[in-house]
Amino acid sequence: MIMYVWYILEGIVPNLREENGIKSKDHVRLGRKCVVPMVKRSPFAGAIEASLRVHGTKLFNAMPKSIRNMTNCTKEDFKRKLDDVLWKVPDEPQMRRYTSYRRADTNSLLDMISLSSVGLYELDM
């Protein structure tokens, strides 16, 4: 999902409909961040939360600024830098009788990125 959001932002693949598409904003201090749409409570809220437009943008925003700000580079360069970051994120799947040793609620990247062996500030370097 992170790669596909980056592809959209770079214009490599077409964006969703313009009014509902993935958009980003550049901030002086925070760098490029995607706009995460609000999800209204409805019977379909779970499916909407899991969509590329919502979940994909949250994953993209969870990446360090150095990854989010990569523009005008090759796909291979982006993949290499993304892989370097993801390699440092712990993987703690839920196992019977070992859940008390877990440091996060889930094994989702959104929960685990803050537990990486080097902090996010160090990942930006």
Domain residues of the chain, as ranges? 2-123
User: What percent of the chain is predicted at pLDDT more than 90?
Assistant: 41
- Going by pLDDT thresholds of 50, 70 and 90, the confidence category of residue 114 is confident
What DSSP assignment string belongs to 32-66? EEEPPPP---STTHHHHHTSIIIIIHHHHHHS-HH
Q: Tell me, what's the pLDDT at 39?
A: 81
Reply yes or no on whether the pLDDT at 102 is more than 90.
Answer: no
Q: Tell me, what's the pLDDT at 25?
A: 92
Mean pLDDT of 13-39: 87
- Going by pLDDT thresholds of 50, 70 and 90, the confidence category of residue 100 is low
Which amino acid makes up residue 89? Answer: V
Helices (H), 1-125: 2-10, 45-49, 57-62, 65-68, 75-87, 109-112, 120-123
Tokens of 64: 């360090």
